[in-house]
Structure 1
């Protein structure tokens, strides 16, 4: 039984991950941002331990990390947002874009840095930075520019963490869950959240040190940077 930390478990992929992991008997600690998210998490995964923080708040993250003493074997940095309505290269809500970068790009790094002492003590520790295929520079398109940029930045952070932590045998990957039917993905997305999350968990469990620094989809296939 591994100890999983799932960050951003109030809805969507994070909530389903907490549900599936607890259902199969894993030890789960999951974070939410507010009381509404906490209620949803407790209903879906009542056996999960809970933490509450916003990934933009470094002090709150570090305070939450201090509430845990046991090693973390798997860290899923999942919390993210879509961003402002105006986010094209010709019409950008700059304040909204900066806030999105704080959530999607720097938020996961704040989490990793705060919980890293516990991850270092974990069994075959793995860190999964939940990204998007829209973070690939190979993907065409000009919509949701701020969101794309936030995920490109997250991908680079994942590669840097992988390089810095490889000598400590900590595996770090960037992983896309696919286009999933969630509040963020919308009703037209082709992938069911349960199928996506099952793939994320399976792929995470099969990672080896040679995989560190890869950019993967939920099935374990490489995505072009």
Structure 2
């Protein structure tokens, strides 16, 4: 008796750009950018690669669309505080947006790379625009607004990206607690003459919370932004 060939599962719902982007995000989250191919995406969507090309012209467009979808959601929800209420002050709005970005990069590690790769495209500009609006509301002088918004953006992306890299790099074969304990022990055993500061804060590394430290660093930047600057002494350029 001839063996019957199993037919691939057919898609029941119409294919749309939105469903393609959602599937791409899922593939990126689970397997990373290297695994995002139109063949893999077609298998996940139970369709053919040609049907996907009808909605998306190539991988670069797909990556940008996936990044835009995540960032748009983050920026939209980043106008509220932890309780879900509208942020009362520009500082609270910046904290909410920054923490939303931190969590988004943690959940979607590929986001940080994509934002850094295309700083002139819409997803990055959305974040920069919203930070800039809050900076203006704070009353920061116009000549300092670009620097303030850039400092915040670079801090958010830098720390968020490093946190995501640590979580998926160092902790693949060990828990975060074990990793921090091992690293803190190594710090504590450094040469006391060459690394006096690092030895002194080793125990803080062991017990720190990433999100708490992220917000503490953000507050340091906000304090610097909102503190009036004394006029520069012309005798000390």
TM-score bracket for this pair, using the shorter chain length: 0.3 to 0.5
Higher relative contact order (CA 8 A, sep 6+): 1
Q: Structure 1 or 2: larger helix share?
A: 2
What TM-score, normalized to structure 2? 0.34
Query: Highest Rg: 1 or 2?
Result: 2
Q: Structure 1 or 2: larger strand share?
A: 1
